[in-house]
Copies of this chain bind each other. A is one copy, B any other.
Amino acid sequence: MSPSPPSCLVSKLSHYVDLDDEDRERLAKFEESEEHFADQSEIYLEGDLTEHLHVVKSGWLYGYTDMPDGRRQIVGLHHPGDILGLADIAFPHATVNLRCCTDVSLCPFPKSKMDVIFTEAPRIAALLFTMAAREQVLLIDTLKAMGRMSARERVAYLLLDLLSKLRITNGDMSGMFHLPLTQSEIGDVLGLTNVYVSKTLGLLEVDGFISRQGNKVRILDEKALIRLCDFVDRYADMDTSWFPAKASR
């Protein structure tokens, strides 16, 4: 049941803190019952009861909301190792829709078990808190992009954000990655139209920042892109200094 590569969650969290065996075991238990979803399927919809959190084992997903007249905003992209639903933990019902943009496998675990983590594994609780906090900072970065950046800057920001995120679990990345989003979806992430996304990507390519083939993107001049949109990599340093000591019990 426990595969040779450790569970996705354990390997993600271990990046940041030392976990003792007991904690590892507890976390591994979260990833028991893997579930599979086809490309384009909806995991849940706004308003659904959310009794589970999910760890992403493979695939890409996004959270989105629709407006009555059909406008849509994508409010989060999710990748392997991510924990879905941390934000929704404050509410009984989902606040966004969640859709796959590739085939996906998830490991659900019941929200109700969170109490055990808080009472018995304060280190993990602190870590989850920290990860939720970082997600919030990333949202703030996105807010800045949406409020004050031009289309070109926003696209640059998205590409760098994806690159730095994919690098966590895939350190070797040369600057090339597969982008399984349509340009309409990219538009819905960045508050632009599909048409203008196409034009902007075209310009970034002409100007030598990136190159494309199919839905693969290669970042040719990362430094210039970073300068372009004043990008800060939030995945680099994480403060765990205040965490409760290991194995305090």
Q: How far is A181 from B89 in the complex, measured between Cα atoms in Å?
A: 32
Kindly report how many copies of this chain are found in the complex they form together. 2
**A146 in the interface (beta carbon within 8 A):** yes
On chain B, the residues within 8 Å of A188 by CB distance are 147
Known A91-B237, A142-B143, A191-B147: A129·B137 in contact at CB below 8 Å: no
On chain B, the residues within 8 Å of A88 by CB distance are 133, 137
Known A68-B230, A87-B137: A118·B111 in contact at CB below 8 Å: no
* Interface-lining segment among A20-28, A35-43, A119-127: A119-127
Known A73-B147, A129-B129, A147-B73: A89·B142 in contact at CB below 8 Å: no
**A112 in the interface (beta carbon within 8 A):** yes
Residue of B nearest to A135 (CB): B136
Interface string of A89-110 (1 = CB under 8 A from B): 1111001100000000000000
On chain B, the residues within 8 Å of A244 by CB distance are 115, 118-119
Known A72-B148, A73-B143: A133·B87 in contact at CB below 8 Å: yes
Interface string of A42-82 (1 = CB under 8 A from B): 00000000000000000000010101100111011000000
On chain B, the residues within 8 Å of A140 by CB distance are 63, 65, 75-76, 87, 95-96, 139
Residue of B nearest to A191 (CB): B147
For the complex of A and B, 9 pairs with smallest distance between CB atoms: A147-B191, A90-B133, A118-B122, A90-B134, A87-B136, A115-B244, A146-B146, A73-B144, A92-B239
Given known contacts A87-B137, A112-B241, A114-B126, what 19 new A-B pairs fall within 8 Å (CB)? A63-B140, A67-B144, A67-B148, A67-B230, A71-B148, A72-B148, A87-B133, A88-B137, A90-B131, A90-B133, A91-B237, A95-B234, A112-B242, A115-B245, A122-B125, A132-B132, A136-B136, A136-B139, A147-B191
Q: List 14 A-B contacts (CB under 8 A).
A: A73-B144, A89-B242, A90-B134, A90-B239, A91-B238, A95-B137, A114-B126, A115-B122, A125-B129, A132-B133, A136-B136, A139-B139, A146-B147, A147-B191
